[in-house]
Structure formats: C-alpha cells, structure tokens
Amino acid sequence: MDIVLHYKDGQGRLNDLLLATKNALEEFPCRVLPVFKPWFPSGLDRSLPIKPRNAPPVISSENFEEFRRCKCQSSFQDLVSSPQNGDCAADPKKIEVTSLREAARNTEASDRQGQSRDASKTCKRSWSVISQTVKSMDSTQSFSRRFHKIIERHRLHLHQRAKWIIRDFNCDRIEDSWVKLSRAISHSRLPTCNANFQRSLAQIWVYCDVFYCEYVGNFLKQELKLTGSIVLAVHKLGSILRL
Amino acid sequence: MMTTLTRQDLNFGQVVADILCEFLEVAIHLILYVREVYPSGIFQKRKKYNVPVQMSCHPELNQYIQDTLHCVKPLIEKNEAEKVVVVIMDKEHHPVERFVFEISQPPLLSISSETLLSHVEQLLRAVILKISVCDAVLENNPPGCTFTVLVHTREAATRNMEKVQVIKDFPWIVADEQEVHMTEPRLIPLKTMTSDIVKMQLYVEERAQKAS
C-alpha cells in the first residue's frame, strides 16, 4: 500500500512529519471491556419463580409397603362398613354384624397365613355407626364471628361436608377417644357426623356439615378432652380453621 | 348465544382458575406417574376428560398437590401466573426435567357455555393425552427423583408472595437458582392449545446428561 503525504513548506521538518504519519498508521489499540456486572439488584428476583417451602412427601419402599397394606385394609373396611354401602347403611346393627363377621373371616384367613398381628388390627372397627334416630337441633344455631367470616371468605355451602382432624397428640390415648366418639355419634349427640379412624396415620377424621362444624369442634374438644388444636379441613381448600 | 365479557366481569377469572387448577391437578398426578417419581402402586386409574388418567391415592401427596394448587389459584385468577413448572429433580436437587405450562389469558372474551364445556375440555384432553405418552420422547430419569412446582409470575416474585400465602402451614419462598436453571436443556414441545378463555403451551426441558 502506497501512502502519499501532502505538506506545505514551513510546516516543520520533513522527518517530524514522516514520524507523525508513521505513528498515525499504527494499529489502533483495542481495549477489551470487562463484563458488565451491575452492583444494584439485577432483576434476578423478578426472573426467579416461587415455590412451596415444604418439600413433597418422600415415599420410600418401606413407606410404600406400609401404604399398600393400609390401602388394602381400608378398601376392605370401606367395602364392609362404609355408610354408603347399600342395605347396610339402612341398618346400623347390620353394619356391625357384617363387619364383625367379615373381620372374623379375615382373622381366620390371616391366622392361616400366620399373620396374627395384622389380623388383630383388622378386627378393630374404623368407621363409626350412625344412628337412624336424628335428634332435632336448634335451627337457629349461630356461628362465631370468626367462623362466619371463614364461611363467607371460602363461599362454603352450609350443607357442604367438612372434616375435623384429631391427631394422636391431641389425646392421651387415641383409641379411647375413638371409642368415646363412636358412642357419641351412635347416641346422635353429633349431628350430621360420621367418623373414620385412620389408624395408619394415627388420626381420627370426623365429617360433618359446615353448618354444625363449630358446634362439633367445640364438642370434640370438651367431651374428648382434647389438647392442642384440631384442624378443620374442606375438600380442595385444605385446612381452613384451627380450634 | 355469544356473550362478550371482560376479565373484570364477575367470577370470570375464578372460572378460568377453576378449570386450569383442576387440569393442573390431573396433569401433575399424571406426570408423577409417567415419569416414575413415585412407585406406580400408589396410583389408580381414573377417568378425566373422558380419557384414562392415573391419580395418586396417597393422602399426603394428594394433600400436597391440592395445597399447592390452592395457593396458585389466586394468581391464575388475576392472570398473574405466567408459567407453572413441574420440575423433576435428581438426588442432588438439580433439575432433570421441567414440564412448563405457559399460560396466557386474553383480556377480552367471547364465550358461550358450549365453548366452555366442550371445546376447552377437548383441548385439555389432548394435552393430557400428550403427557401420557411423553415418556416415549424422554430419556429415563435417574433413581430417587423428587419434584417441586415453580410458579413464574408476571411481576416480581416477592410482590406476589402475599397472594399465595393462602394456607397458614404452607409457606412459599423464592426458588433457588439451581432449581431453575438447567445446563444445555433439550426442548421438547408437547402441545399448544388456544381457546377463547385461555391459551396454553406445554413443553419439556430435558437435561442433556441425566446421569449425574
């Protein structure tokens, strides 16, 4: 590449001009800029999603075996003594008889298989018996202000079913509480209630209409002498009240 | 009969949120089954959208999924949830698969009961069917995987914290970056759906090297 330098006389010495031209033709230095790192919050918070703090349950192989056993047991009990089970629902005594007969049969079968421990568990009833004689309750029953707000907030229907959960730490002996509760239900002291003893979870689930929830909750706490708080749960909403 | 409604109309957001949360519940159960996050013995075959699906019958897991979606519902109701992501993670809590449900709701709607009941159901059914066969296009996951549900919001996550804290014993936090980002993911589009009330696309991001 040829370069022609035009200059006027009297603009300095030729050597100086040549040197300046040579310098000007040298490669322009490029400085590599460091990566930009903002010191202020970078909007990371915006890009990060949210998640539940609690981890989902881990079901190990031991848990799974336990679950499978309980599932078999509960499906058996549902079949035998569920209140929705056809004719049995109409006759509570029949439930008991059927249930006991089935349980006895089950015990025999289990004994044959050398599983006496499991058999003794299935002998215990897990569903409460509902009495057919319904005592009339005060139709003008009122709720507390707090419960009224909960009903409004979640738009609950008064005949919607809700579930009180009694855990083992709420009572001295959960089996004793279950016996008392079953007796109270069969004597119609708990309107619209039926109950289920989830032995695998060490929990008693007491189902009732939303309308009677508060009454039932207070009854359970007083009559069963429960300590700590019990939880009221509604399907899909989860727990809505602690008493 | 066609009716034009806006998002502000009474209960509209709630209707959409109900439909989506119900769908997400079915989808999450099915993903957990198909991707073998839990033993197949805890699942039972049920029918939803007129197709067979697998639903867990493990009370704790069911409660967890229900609680999660119950908290997400207010965000969907207000059109503030951008993405709901079911992340499957390995033992070290690094994501191996991300099932991304991208949701968008139109501001103006023309809906009829017919549209709501049949068309949307057909579209959701198609998404469910895609999930049920997605294992054909995905690599096997390593053993001992677990999952979490991430919710990407349209605004800053911290601004939405209050809205999701619906259940007292079910707190929400901002996710760790390691749970969100995946190195060199493979993108597998599964299904898009466009209806009058909601648009949704489902894709999977799969980690290239699953065995850590």
In this prediction, residue A20 has a pLDDT band, given cuts at 50, 70 and 90, of confident
Among A36-45, B113-122, B156-165, which is the least confidently predicted range? Answer: A36-45
Among B16-25, B112-121, B160-169, B175-184, which is the least confidently predicted range? Answer: B112-121
Query: What is the phi/psi pair of residue A32, to 5°?
Result: -80, 120
Cα–Cα separations (whole angstroms), residue B36 to A48, A58, B29, B91, B182: 27, 13, 11, 14, 20
What's the complex ipTM? 0.84
In this prediction, residue A133 has a pLDDT band, given cuts at 50, 70 and 90, of low
Q: In angstroms, what separates the C-alpha of A17 from chain B's closest C-alpha?
A: 57
pTM for the model: 0.55
Residue A84 has pLDDT above 80, yes or no: no
In a domain, B169, yes or no: yes
Give A-chain residues touching B85 at CB under 8 angstroms. Answer: 49
Contact B174 A238 (CB under 8 A): no
Spatial neighbors of B163 by CB under 8 A, at least 6 apart, are B74, B75, B78, B80
Q: What is the largest CA-CA distance in chain A?
A: 129
In a domain, B212, yes or no: no
CA angle A85, A177, A145 (to 5 degrees): 90
Burial class of residue A105, CB neighbours in 10 A (0-12, 13-18, 19+): exposed
Instruction: Please list the helix, strand and coil fractions of chain B in percent, rounded to the nearest 5, in that order.
Output: 40, 35, 30
Percent of chain A with pLDDT over 70: 62
Cα–Cα separations (whole angstroms), residue A62 to A67, A166, B74, B141: 9, 25, 37, 21
Write the residue in A51, A58, A67 that is nearest to B172 by C-beta.
A51
- Category of A192 on φ-ψ map: left (φ > 0), alpha (ψ -120 to 50) or beta: left
Give A-chain residues touching B174 at CB under 8 angstroms. Answer: 45, 48-51
Query: Tell me, what's the pLDDT at B133?
Result: 94
Query: Tell me, what's the pLDDT at B206?
Result: 93
Q: Mutation test of the interface with chain A: which of B173, B178, B182, B205, choosing the one with the most A Cβ atoms within 10 A?
A: B173
Query: Average pLDDT of chain A?
Result: 70
In a domain, B143, yes or no: yes
Residue A85 has pLDDT above 70, yes or no: no
Describe the strand order of the beta sheet including B185-194 as a list of residue ranges: B172-174, A50-52, B146-153, B81-89, B95-104, B199-207, B185-194
In a domain, B155, yes or no: yes
Whether B148 contacts A57, CB under 8 Å: no
Query: Residue B41's domain is classified under what CATH number?
Result: 3.30.900.10
Query: Tell me, what's the pLDDT at A46?
Result: 56
Query: Tell me, what's the pLDDT at B161?
Result: 73
Contact A50 B151 (CB under 8 A): yes
Give A-chain residues touching B65 at CB under 8 angstroms. Answer: 56
Residues A94-98 have a mean pLDDT of 33
Query: Tell me, what's the pLDDT at A114?
Result: 41
**Domains in chain A: ranges and CATH:** 68-123 (no CATH), 145-242 (3.30.70)
Residue A115 has pLDDT above 60, yes or no: no
Residue B33: which domain range?
3-207
Residue A76 has pLDDT above 50, yes or no: no
Contact A53 B59 (CB under 8 A): no
Residue A137 has pLDDT above 90, yes or no: no
Spatial neighbors of B112 by CB under 8 A, at least 6 apart, are B1, B2, B3
Query: Tell me, what's the pLDDT at B147?
Result: 95
Residue A142 has pLDDT above 50, yes or no: yes
> Which of A169-183, A226-240, B30-44 has the largest mean confidence?
B30-44
Give B-chain residues touching A165 at CB under 8 angstroms. Answer: none
* Distance (Å, whole) CA B199 – CA B104: 5
In a domain, B68, yes or no: yes
Count Cβ–Cβ pairs < 8 Å, chain A vs chain B: 101
Residues A8-32 have a mean pLDDT of 81
Residue A57 has pLDDT above 80, yes or no: yes
Query: What is the phi/psi pair of residue B11, to 5°?
Result: 70, 0
Contact B174 A48 (CB under 8 A): yes
Q: Does B89 touch chain A (CB under 8 A)?
A: no
Contact B67 A238 (CB under 8 A): yes
Q: Does A169 touch chain B (CB under 8 A)?
A: no
In this prediction, residue B89 has a pLDDT band, given cuts at 50, 70 and 90, of very high
Task: Report pLDDT digits (tens) over A189-227.
Answer: 888 888 888 877 788 888 888 888 888 888 888 888 888
* Residue reference for tokens 């009990």: A77
Q: In angstroms, what separates the C-alpha of B138 from chain A's closest C-alpha?
A: 23
Query: Tell me, what's the pLDDT at B54?
Result: 94
> Which of A71-80, A147-156, A174-183, B45-54 has the largest mean confidence?
B45-54
Chain B's closest residue to A241, CA to CA, is B168
Residue A42 has pLDDT above 70, yes or no: no
Task: Report pLDDT digits (tens) over B98-148.
Answer: 999 999 887 766 555 555 667 888 999 999 999 999 999 999 999 989 999
* Distance (Å, whole) CA A159 – CA A147: 15
Residue A32 has pLDDT above 70, yes or no: yes
Q: Which two tokens stand for residue A8?
A: 């006027």
Residues B146-152 have a mean pLDDT of 94
Query: Tell me, what's the pLDDT at A116?
Result: 38
Query: Tell me, what's the pLDDT at A129?
Result: 60
Q: Does A41 touch chain B (CB under 8 A)?
A: no
Query: Tell me, what's the pLDDT at A108?
Result: 41
Task: Report pLDDT digits (tens) over B176-207.
Answer: 888 888 877 889 999 999 887 888 999 999 99
Give A-chain residues touching B177 at CB under 8 angstroms. Answer: 44, 48
Q: Please state the domain count of chain B.
A: 1
Which amino acid, A178? W
Residue B151 pairs with which residues in a beta bridge? A50, B84
Q: Does A237 touch chain B (CB under 8 A)?
A: yes
In a domain, B33, yes or no: yes
Which amino acid, A26? E
Which amino acid, A225? K
Q: Does A155 touch chain B (CB under 8 A)?
A: no
Query: Tell me, what's the pLDDT at A104?
Result: 37
Residue A77 has pLDDT above 60, yes or no: no
For the four alpha carbons of B66, B71, B74 and B75, in that order, the dihedral sign comes to negative
Q: Does B103 touch chain A (CB under 8 A)?
A: no
Query: Tell me, what's the pLDDT at B130?
Result: 95
